[in-house]
Amino acid sequence: MTVILREAKNDVRDKVWKVTRGLVGGFSYDEVTMLTEAPYPSVSKYLIQLYHAGYIRPAGKREEADGRKKVVWRLVRNTGPKAPVPCRCLYDPNIDILAPSLNPSPQGREIRKNSRTSSNSPSIEGRGTGRVKDVD
């Protein structure tokens, strides 16, 4: 499988990733939307993909000024400055893995690129050349 990444200036996922890395005390979807000035549906979709790949997890609830309770999320896998890229899975260019983004549990599986072949495409164990590793 070959991963094709598109380059875009001021991409929503880059902004969201930067903000989530900076908010070490936790964040809500609304806070990330406000700080990135990005559309809520785009922010929400990317954060859901990060959750399913095991990058963020709920850290509790916080009462807002209007009395509503919001879920507080926390980044648990800060792999570097480059934002993980959704592509039927989530590609993390910082550590060169593919993590499934449709996994119902917050712990995904990693598919690492094979260093023994000249191909730059990752492969899955059972097909011959890759390694699959469970994420803790």
Per-residue pLDDT band at 40 (split at 50, 70, 90): very high
Token pair for 56: 């963020």
Would you say residue 1 lies in a domain?
Answer: no
Total of domains in the chain: 1
State pLDDT tens for residues 81-132. 999 988 777 888 898 888 775 544 444 444 444 444 334 434 333 333 333 3
Q: CATH number of the domain that 81 lies in?
A: 1.10.10.10
Domain extent at residue 113: 12-134
121 in a structural domain? yes
Q: pTM of this prediction?
A: 0.63
User: Are the CB atoms for 55 and 77 separated by under 8 Å?
Assistant: yes
pLDDT at 6: 54
d(CA 127, CA 114): 12
Q: Answer yes or no: is 92 within a domain.
A: yes
- In the three-class reduction of DSSP (H, G, I as helix; E, B as strand; rest coil), residue 69 is classed as strand
Q: Scan for tokens 């990060």, then name that residue.
A: 50
11-39 confidence digits (pLDDT tens): 899 999 999 999 988 999 999 999 999 99
Residue 10: band (very low, low, confident or very high) from pLDDT cuts 50, 70, 90? low
**Residue at 5 is within a domain:** no
CA distance 11 to 70: 26
What integer pLDDT is reported at residue 16 of this predicted model? 95
